[in-house]
Amino acid sequence: MRSSGIRRPRARRRTTAAALASALALTALAACGTSSSADGGGDGNAADAADAGSPLDPKAKVTLTIDCMPPAAEKAELKQWKEDVAAFNEKYPNVTIKGKQTDPCLEPPRFTAMLKAKSQPEVFYTYFTDLQQVLDNDGAADISAYVNDRTVPALGDMDPDVLDVMKKDGKLYGLPFSNYTMGLLINRPLFEKAGLDPDKPPTTWAQVRAAAKKISALGDGVAGFGEYSAGNNGGWHFTATTYGLGGSIVNEDGTKADFNNATGKRILDNLKAMRWDDDSMGKTQLLKWGDLQKQMASGKLGMFIAAPDDITYMVQNLGAKYADYGMAPIPGRKATLFGGNDYMIKKGISSDKVKAAVAWINFKFLTPGKGQFDWARTKADGLPVGLPQPNFWTGATKTADDKARAASSTMPVANFRAFTDHPVQGRPEPPKAQEIYKVLDTAMSAVLTNEDADTGKLLDTAERQVDQILANQ
């Protein structure tokens, strides 16, 4: 699941290197240096902290528990996991990796209970939005001193926006293995039937509205555009749409709501017009995650805001075909909401265990051409290749990874060219995201279910409620 209004099952998936390494080095002395004994705790002495930046000694003997190991039902993914453990052990023969099969990788109630009980694995899976909750429970090690261009060689080519999500007060607490940005997902066959060019999808909301009218005119229960308004998903999409238009959900210091303005009103007024004036959004509303995917997979929906891995979900779970879909940037293209998944390392474990954890995460998830980025193997194992994300690389590493991905593609990558050729700056979710999304759900559901909804009053009410949420941080 992604860090959005819902928590969905696993999606296996600008500064210079010197500047980034320097920034990490500044926090070296704050690292959780511990005894370098195999499995015991440590005393956090300065010598251990100074040694933290050196790679793991292959002679070090440690055992690591790691969650989000693929379940038995995911045969190809589990096969690859076992292969990678074996390859990792060729270099580190004394590291025993004990994978925990969890599907989904993270369920919020279970995750919260685990943190409170301090029972998380030594290497544990989180969403980008979970950092504060983990820190509130004193659950993650500060790995700043352990992460550098010797322990993670591709670090300098990693998108700093992604790394920043895992930082607090300049300290690094996690490493990514998947990311996404929001865009416009389109149904190519419906575009063609409506006389629209699927290779030139809409780039503005005016164009989305015009295209939605043409698609809905096909009849037979087809809707031109779909939107969420339940389960916190409506607020999540309101946020993505706001970013696309250059707006914000909260002010710069995160203390006040910042959506009760012309941008927020434009969003609600546009949806209201599409729903009631154009009748291009279908009759069924109060939709949550999974509903729009079902409509799209059954050929009844032309467009909705999504991320590329929604396509994989529709193909693997709903019988859809990759060739039927395309992606475009978020309308407006000023910015887009991004999120993803990462691994954190349990606070209090030994220095060698932290080093082993960084080594494994690097080997499996952060090495171009290897592990999750071995696209030739992924294709050979019958898994999909060709979606533009996860992709948290920049520079030459991104160029090489894109080329390798395209060479092993199992789907028409040209369908995503509008998305990949026009990258949009990502922005993280607001503080107290789920609570804010719940409030904004009310405004979204109102304009989609009540023809007489007053968008100004809805925004006034939502602003007061969000201000209260932010005041209680």
Residue of 377, 439, 434, 208 whose CA lies nearest to 304: 208
| pTM, full prediction | 0.79
126 sits in which H/E element: strand 123-127
Q: Which CATH number fits domain 17-179+340-413: 3.40.190.10, 3.40.50.10440, 1.10.10.60, 3.40.140.10?
A: 3.40.190.10
Tokens representing 23? Answer: 């920034």
pLDDT value at residue 239: 97
Q: Is it true that 17-179+340-413 and 183-306+431-471 share their CATH fold?
A: yes
- Residues of the chain scoring pLDDT < 70: 1-50
Please give the Cα distance from 313 to 291 (Å, whole number): 12
Task: Say which residue the tokens 């789920």 belong to.
Answer: 434
Residue of 224, 245, 229 whose CA lies nearest to 296: 224
Please give the Cα distance from 106 to 277 (Å, whole number): 41
Residue of 457, 427, 461, 418 whose CA lies nearest to 188: 418
Task: Say which residue the tokens 């251990």 belong to.
Answer: 48
Please give the Cα distance from 429 to 182 (Å, whole number): 12
Please give the Cα distance from 145 to 136 (Å, whole number): 21
Q: 69 has which bridge partners?
A: 101
DSSP designation for 451: T
Please give the Cα distance from 406 to 402 (Å, whole number): 6
Tokens representing 145? Answer: 């001193």
- The gap from C-alpha 348 to its chain's centroid, in whole angstroms, comes to 27
Taking the domains of the chain in order of start, what are their residue ranges?
A: 17-179+340-413, 183-306+431-471
Please give the Cα distance from 107 to 113 (Å, whole number): 10
Please give the Cα distance from 399 to 409 (Å, whole number): 15
pLDDT value at residue 103: 75
- The gap from C-alpha 307 to its chain's centroid, in whole angstroms, comes to 9
Beta-carbon neighbour count of residue 396 at 10 Å? Answer: 10
Contact residues for 452 (Cβ-Cβ < 8 A; gap 6+): none
244 neighbors 330 (Cβ within 8 angstroms): yes
pLDDT value at residue 44: 38
Q: Please, what's the b/e burial string for 57-79 (b: 16 or more CB within 10 A of its CB; e: otherwise)? A: eeebebebbbbbbbbeebeebbe
Contact residues for 48 (Cβ-Cβ < 8 A; gap 6+): 33, 34, 35, 36, 42, 351
What are the angstrom distances between the C-alpha of 197 and each of 21, 66, 204, 211? 45, 46, 15, 10
Taking the C-alpha atoms of 124, 127, 133 and 138 in order, what is their torsion angle to the nearest 10 degrees?
30
58 neighbors 90 (Cβ within 8 angstroms): no
The residue count of the chain comes to 473
Please give the Cα distance from 171 to 23 (Å, whole number): 9
Report pLDDT digits (tens) over 301-325. Answer: 999 999 998 998 899 889 999 999 9
Angle between helices 262-272 and 233-244 (to 10 degrees): 120
For domain 183-306+431-471, the CATH superfamily is: Periplasmic binding protein-like II (3.40.190.10)
What are the angstrom distances between the C-alpha of 427 and each of 128, 191, 244? 12, 29, 10
pLDDT value at residue 102: 79
pLDDT value at residue 48: 57
DSSP designation for 149: T
259 neighbors 463 (Cβ within 8 angstroms): yes
Tokens representing 418? Answer: 């509008």
Residue 178, SS3 per DSSP: strand
